């Protein structure tokens, strides 16, 4: 009953925003982000603390401006996430997406081992559900199931709408390997806290951040290429999609080398965030006291 009570207003709101013209819907998303900032004081405090520690020389007024820009961006991204399956065909690809260096992914797949598309919660990270298959890449997205199975099913449907598949992150390793063996592209967001066994405290913006080692171990052991991909919202409402050169992780599976390679991946994500710091999810408690002792 609780799931349905959450789902009914959600699907009503989603349906409304899906019927509106894109510019109107995203404009309202911006307003939604501004409203969220006003009522989420705790999240604002987390974002401010994260920014102060990541950029200790940044003036307070610049931090405040970054937080405001971030909330607007997240509001727009949320609405666009509800509508991502409405992007269709070559016409929408050319109209809304500027693609840079997608040949880097093509070259990685020529190795025949599949490819890990590395990214984080930067820009419009869900847009790969449209542009990857439109560019001719078979992709699978690693996602953590949402608490509400009805809402989770909604987002799974729109992620699959253009031909992608979804891999449950709780059964991630087996599903990822199976997809890579088919020479597919597996999309992974590696910028969230994951403590306990199977993680290391690797530097991220100069601070120790617990990061999963599953991807590092898999890519090192099987020499799976990794291509960082980031999609940034541009002022005119279009997106810039950057495919970076592939990485092949070197060395053995010793603790020291796993930490070094995980640090390398964090560095690539950090560089992606620095391209536009207002488009990263600073609300997340990426750094925990247990990592910084």
From first to last of its 293 residues, the chain has per-residue pLDDT tens of 899 999 999 999 999 999 999 999 999 999 999 999 999 999 999 999 999 999 999 999 999 999 999 999 999 999 999 999 999 899 999 999 999 999 999 999 999 999 999 999 999 999 999 999 999 999 999 998 999 999 999 999 999 988 889 998 877 788 999 999 999 999 999 999 887 888 999 999 999 999 999 999 999 999 999 999 999 999 999 999 999 999 999 999 999 999 999 999 999 999 999 999 999 999 999 998 755 54
Q: What is the pTM of this model?
A: 0.93
DSSP code per residue over 204-246: ETTEEEEEE-HHHHHHHHHT--EEEEEEEE-TTS-EEEEEPPP
Angle, helices 22-39 vs 2-19, to 10°: value is 140
Instruction: Parse the chain into domains and list their residue ranges.
Output: 2-291
């Amino acid at each position: 009953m609780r799931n349905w009570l959450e789902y009914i207003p959600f699907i009503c709101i989603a349906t409304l925003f899906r019927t509106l013209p894109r510019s109107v819907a995203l404009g309202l998303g911006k307003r939604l982000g501004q409203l969220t900032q006003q009522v989420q004081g705790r999240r604002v405090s987390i974002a401010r603390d994260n920014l102060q520690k990541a950029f200790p020389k940044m003036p307070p007024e610049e931090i405040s401006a970054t937080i405001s820009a971030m909330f607007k961006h997240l509001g727009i991204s949320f609405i666009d996430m509800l509508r991502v399956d409405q992007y269709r065909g070559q016409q929408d690809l050319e109209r809304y997406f500027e693609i840079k260096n997608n040949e880097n992914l093509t070259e990685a797949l020529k190795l025949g081992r599949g490819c890990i598309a590395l990214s984080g919660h930067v820009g419009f990270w869900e847009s790969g559900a449209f542009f990857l298959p439109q560019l001719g890449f078979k992709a699978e997205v690693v996602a953590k199931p949402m608490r509400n199975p009805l809402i989770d099913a909604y987002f799974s449907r729109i992620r699959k709408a253009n031909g992608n598949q979804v891999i449950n992150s709780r059964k991630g390793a087996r599903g990822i390997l199976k997809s890579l063996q088919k020479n597919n592209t597996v999309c992974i967001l590696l910028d969230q806290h994951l403590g306990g066994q199977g993680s290391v405290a690797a530097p991220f913006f100069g601070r120790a951040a617990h990061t999963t080692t599953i991807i590092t171990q898999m890519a090192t052991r099987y020499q799976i290429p990794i291509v960082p991909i980031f999609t940034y919202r541009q002022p005119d409402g279009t997106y810039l999609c950057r495919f970076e050169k592939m990485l092949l992780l070197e060395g053995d599976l010793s603790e020291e080398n796993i930490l070094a390679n995980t640090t390398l991946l964090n560095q690539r994500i950090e560089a992606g965030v620095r391209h536009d710091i207002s488009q990263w999810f600073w609300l997340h408690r990426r750094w925990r006291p247990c990592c910084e002792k």
